[in-house]
Amino acid sequence: MDFIDQIKSISQQILKLREQIQTEEATKSAFVMPFINALGYNVFNPMEVCPEFTADVPGLKGEKVDYAIIMDEKPIILIECKWCGGSLENPKHNSQLHRYFHTTEAKFSVLTNGIIYRFYTDTEKPNIMDEKSFFEFNMLDFHESNINELKRFSKSSFNSGELEDVARNLLYTKEIKRIMTEQLADPSPEFVKFFASQVYSGRLAASVMERFTDITRRSLKEFINERITERLAAAINTPETSTPSTEGQEVESESSSDEGIVTTEEELEAFHIVKAILREVVDIGRIEYKDTKSYFGVNLDGKATKTICRLRLFPTKKSIAIIDSEGKEAKKVLSSLNEIYGVAGILKDRARYLAQDETTQPEVVEQ
């Protein structure tokens, strides 16, 4: 089985078992150990994957990290595990791993809840773990590029020297993306001035800057929304992609009788896959569904005008339709529900778009 197929298999296991896993130990057995095994390390050989590895801190004896991956009799990766239903945001988790990192020869450490894997190293100070992870892998939302980066940590590919440079580049890329996200939401004066100075020849007085702040924010959102539409068209449109019909019919459909509508297990499974994909983008409590006679819709806040996608899961044909920035459908035929992961990035783009601007959403039209 190829590496990506092993990861997909574990991902499916997580979807099936996550609600039943209630302890950290169960998380390790069901999710983390298969993950380590997929990387090519023998979890049944304590000389290669050592559980409860001793990482004593001066003045604190008995400190143990959950797993240490060993190569040439030296630890190369430390892994600290938490329960799959818990968050990794607790500062205590990082400080704990920070202590372990400082007392061993390992150059890489991982904090995980069996779903999210955060990778750390020491780009800033030798042998001192960075506060920020350089790479994060989400078992329920990954792309080919993520798989390629993850594979660098496999037994067959591991090269500590090369990974140090990779880690540094990934960290800088991650931080630049974070800054870009912040600027999109709330552009700084310096950011606005850069664009304004390219198109405005007058003096950038306070009133001009205020006007260009709004223009910059709006222009960036429009640019991103246009890219989302192009991406939809390029990535998932098929010859049967629909054109919009009469506007407003969607709202009418939402308010029509539910008589004769049966929500199937397959539709609920698809709904949970979409929720798992979107959990990193919006609060999953905002993601709801509306079953109608013609499709199974997933929306934000229970509003028809915030439709994320529509699923049509008929016995003879299955498809997912993602709504673009103009309220039109872009469809992709599905041979299995697993193929929903293939449009994860587009689903997240749509959800971000709906969440970023609460007042100017186009009316979603019936297809």
Q: Which residues are within 8 A (CB) of 341 and not within 5 positions of it... i.e. 6 or more apart?
A: 8, 11, 141, 273, 277
Tokens of 33: 């150990």
The sheet with strand 49-54 has its strands ordered as 49-54, 64-71, 74-81, 108-112, 116-120, 135-138
Tell me what pLDDT residue 126 has.
85
Point out the residues of the chain with pLDDT beneath 50.
238-256, 359-363, 365-367
CA 363 from chain centre, in angstroms, equals: 27
Place of tokens 């601007």: 357
Q: What angle do CA 151, 157, 161 make, to 5 degrees?
A: 110
Give the DSSP H or E segment for 190.
Answer: helix 189-199
What mean pLDDT is reported for the chain?
Answer: 83
Tell me what pLDDT residue 105 has.
85
Q: What is residue 135's three-state secondary structure?
A: strand
Find out whether 109 and 80 touch, Cβ atoms under 8 Å: yes
Tell me what pLDDT residue 86 has.
87
Tokens of 23: 């302890």
> Rg of the Cα trace of the chain?
24
**C-alpha span between 258 and 290 (Å, rounded):** 10
Place of tokens 């407003």: 248
Give the DSSP H or E segment for 136.
Answer: strand 135-138
Reference 55, options 93, 119, 98; nearest CA is 98
Looking at 41-159, list the stretches that DSSP marks H as alpha helix, in order from N- to C-terminal side: 91-102, 144-151
**Longest CA span, the chain:** 72
